[in-house]
Structure 1
Amino acid sequence: MTLHRLLARQLKQFLSGTFTFQAFMDAVNQAYQAADQDRNMLERSLELSSQELLHANSEMRAMVQAFPDIFFLLRSDGTILACKGGNLTDFYLPSRRLIGKRIQDIPMGQVGEQFADAIQSIQTGKPLVSLEYVLEESDQATWYEARLVPECEGQILVIVRNISERKRSEDRFRRLLEAAPDAMVIADSAGQVVLVNSQAERLFGYERKDVLGQPVEVLVPERFRHGHAFNRRDYSRNPRVRGMRAGLDLYGLRKDGTEFPVEVSLSPLETDEGVFTMSAIRDITDRKQAELTLRESEERFRQLAENIQQVFWMTTPDKNTMLYISPAYEAIWGRTRASLYASPRDWLDAIHPEDRGRVLHAALTKQETGEYHEEYRIIRPDGSVRWIEDRAFPIREASGTIYRLIGIADDITEQKQLAEQFRQSQKMETVGQLAGGIAHDFNNMLTVIIGQSMLLLSKHDLQRAHRNKVEQIKETGERAAALTKQLLTFSRRQVLQPIVLDLNRVISHAEQLVRRLLGEDIILQTILQPNLGPIKVDPGQLDQVILNLAINARDAMLQGGSLTIETANMVLEQADADRPLDVLPGSYVMLAVSDTGCGMDAETKARIFEPFFTTKERGKGTGLGLSIVYGVVKQNGGFIQLSSTLNQGSTFKIYLPMTQDRMAVSAGHPQLEPLLKGTETILLVEDQDDVRAFTETVLEEYGYTVLVARDGSEARGLSDTYEGVIHLLVTDVVMPGESGPKVAEQLACDRPDIKLLYISGYTEENIIRHGVLDHAVTLLEKPYTPTVLAREVRKVLDSFPLRSSHANI
């Protein structure tokens, strides 16, 4: 038998000393006292534990009673063993009547079946089963959520919670989702779709039932799914609100397999089941198309702005910042765009000082109203001047505030030059018409003056004193005739008889005459290009051009100098800057006459080709020399350029078109002068009485029968009544009423063999075609002498009939 530990301890202490009975009793007594003390301590400890346990149970009971959830403890078959908390009347029965009933048998509509299925799932080993159900009473629905958890000994713990408020919140949330303009997709923490709105259905082409529970990547194109899953997991680790971000190329995938660009915003949703992700998805196909259209439009605009010849510019309203300037600026202004971006004032500094103030004032006052339209000159870094046409327009915001100024600047230098050429041409044409008209009238008078003088001089019985006076009259008339001929040359109304020439040969023949004109103090140098192309001009006119240019150069070098005559073949292309705008491209022969004389200022150069304009002293020049050169060059289809600097000399460059015609071959023997008299009948038509009388007298003296008419009507009457042959019609070209060519055409119908000789103070387009005499027409220019008249009449009468000439008139 084992001794009590207290008794063993006391006996051990007693037996270790001297043994007495009393000592033995004391030891036993102490052992009992120690045992009593241990029992008392144990009883006190048990008493305290029981109280704490009762208190804890009381607190637990209070918490369960206060908790809104309902707790059921079930047997494995569903029989209710206990129920606490919540409002047990939600089960239609008081709590005391629920004990002992199977939860699936409580009359709650179809809910029992749900509980039966849930209990069966627990019995199969599931650790947790949840179900939701609704109870309706008095037309009010209440939603519950039940969770079933297995306990020991086959029992089941059921926790039932009223989730009506949550359901109402979820309903409000769903309505908000449905009202959202974007597609809304909510995925759980595992990336499974738990909710979509109708916009998402329409956007992706899925029904809700097809996409719920599916991985959200089903809405993403295959090539992006791996990256999307990685980004989704990264977002789940650090959920935060992320707005729609531009610049990311995101795409959605429809059920039919089509892709479309999207923008996506993300928001985390805290739920009982973890953090869900709500995605707002916006189809940006239209915007992408608009952006593409805008980019294409901007690209077209860029290509237009960077390839047009005009300068497109854009600035802020205060003109302090140049926002854009097109590349044409560098070509026109001769400055870099970078310099203008760096210093916008360079635009103003480049404007000609005479125009700068006006343009600056217009820019500050008119550009914001859209009325700015200025023409001004700019000075390029190389010193050349260009004319600019500049327009500007304001760009306004919706509020009407101007936030940009845009403009177009165009180089109109060529237009200005063309306008000046046209103005000069019009002026010269007007002066030429005036000169031609004057020359025509003068020639009529001079025909009589010179002709009658020569008739008087042919009289052998004329007294010497009278003869001298008549000689003076004739010589004065001839000088006047030479002057009118110059006027006709300037007005390009002189009759031309062009032939194919070698300009080098013409210059060589004229060289000695030019040297005599220049004098000993001026050095003449010729630089003639070999194999010069042929030209077709009137040789007399060409000599006149060379001599007039030489005389003009001589008069500019009063202190001596040098004169250079140069020839060259030239090919003018479409883009050549030297080619005037009214001259066709092609092959030309260039004649350049340069001097080292006094040169000219701009005002003189502007008027140098005007008739009667001269810088010489009164009485030392007619002012027709260079105007004759101008007229000859223009009449032969060429053009003339002048470059001159004051006190440095001048250069005249004449360009005459090359011809494909062959060089003329001169006859080997001179022609004998034919006999001038005749007996044929001539019909003379002239509206000027004195010219008609003089011509009639001359023709009669040479033996001809002359029928005289003052106009076309009289001429037709004489032709109709005259029974004999009319061999020759001599008619003025320009007459009141019917012209000479018209009269000739009418008479040729009745008298097809009649020959024709025109007389005129100047030519008209119906006889001169492009300034060149028609080879089928003979024209006698006024003033003419009796001998010249007789020679031309005889030459026409002795020629073959030219019926075609009447048709060509």
Structure 2
Amino acid sequence: MMSLRIRFILVFLITIPILFGISWLMADYYFPINDKYRWVALTIALIVIITSLNLYLLNPVCKSIKLLQTAIEQIRNGNFEAITNLWEDVSGPEMKKMAESLRIMAEQLMNIQFNLEEKVAKRTQELKERNEQLIKSRQAALSVVEDVLIEKKKTEQAHEDLRKIKDELDLRVKLRTEELKKSEEKFRLTFQAAPNGLIMVDHTGKIVLMNTQIEKMFLYSQNELAGQSIETLVPQRFHSNHVHYRSQFMQEPQDRQMGAGRDLFGKRKDGTEFPVEIGLKPLVTEEGVFVLSSIIDITERKNAEEKVKKANEDLKRANQLKSSFVSMVSHELRTPLSSMKAGIDMLLAGIDGPVNDEQRETLLIAQKNIDRLARLISNVLDYTRLEAGKMEMDFANINLNELVNEACQSMKHAILEKGLILETILPQTPLFSSCDEDRLKQVILNLLSNAIKFTESGGKIIISLKKTDGILCIEVKDNGIGIDKEDQNRIFEMFNQAITRGIWKTGGSGIGLAVCRLILEQHRGKITVQSQPGNGSTFSITFPQNLSASA
């Protein structure tokens, strides 16, 4: 495109001749005037035409200038992107050159602005960090000041607390001192009023303290014994041994209970001796080891023990005489009873002639009483032999399932006769044990017999066998009259029956359970009972399956 200067030259060269010609013609035609006015009119017309042509030709320039002005305003407002397409919108080389210069200037300004923003941001961050450091420093300073104030306050409070503690300690010391005085007085009174003799010695055996019971027991005053050796109160024949024992005790002092060790004797001021029991309590203090001895005069107890010992010996002799007498009487009774039983059996068999019903009933009653008396004599003999340890047990490996079944079969007639139900509970695998078959069967029969006696018609008896941890247990349970709790221990003693069962008209002797107890003891076992009046009883016999392992 043409530059601005060329445009002006062309306009001028074109318009001047045209204007002169037109002006001349018009002046001749419209203005027949003199030459002076003709040139004035021509000049005015020329100005109007030139101005119009300039306005027409300079319009793109003005538009470009306006775009440049707008772009400059945008740059001033910081909108550097607004001049990106300015070079294409303006007309003329000069305008495009100016637009390119503006673009370059905008880019430079934009770079300057970006750098300034980075510097401002960096500086702002530095200022922010410095401000934060200042804030932290201020806070740290404030914290130090607060800590100092707090420590000062704590120090003041600590001083106040110490003062209060000191006052409290002073008060406690005062109260404690008074309590110690009272406690010492109580200890002194308690020590002196103790029912046992109390005496304290130091590690050398010197007496340092004693109570009034020692004075009464040994007939010495406290002033006489203070500072004396403890051997003063020991019989002369025990002096050397006592010094040795005392030295050993001081090397390893430990509590010794009353009555522990050998028989001891004390010696009174008048030389008489008496038996004593002594308990020792070592006391470890800052001054050394002291020993507090509690001494009891056991003269009366020794005398009572002698009397009891003599009475036991007399009772033992009497018991031996009783056992001998019972054994003799039982043996003497068995012979005539055997003859009487044989005679009654012969009469019942009709050997001596026919027997009518009334006679048979009388003979059966007699036979039953003879059998009962024979069992009583047998039980008495068993008891005396067992008590004296003269009954030998024939131990063998026995099938307990078969033993229980045999016992139940033996009592089957009595159970059916009374209208009772018998239930046996036995393990599927038979249990074996080393025991005396006849004696163990005797125990089971006795328990079954008692259950039958004390269970009313229609009742139920259960016998069971089981093993737990190598211990065998046979139980006989009934739903009979039961036993009072106070009777449950004494029914296993000789000639004792429970009061509840005693009023039951059974004719028992109170020997059977005592014999059972002794037989079980020979098997290293025991017999127990659990019962409530009116709710039946459960008798249990327990013994080890392997007697050799339990020995």
TM-score normalised per structure 2: 0.35
Rg larger in structure: 2
Considering fraction of residues, name the structure with more strand: 1
TM-score normalised per structure 1: 0.24
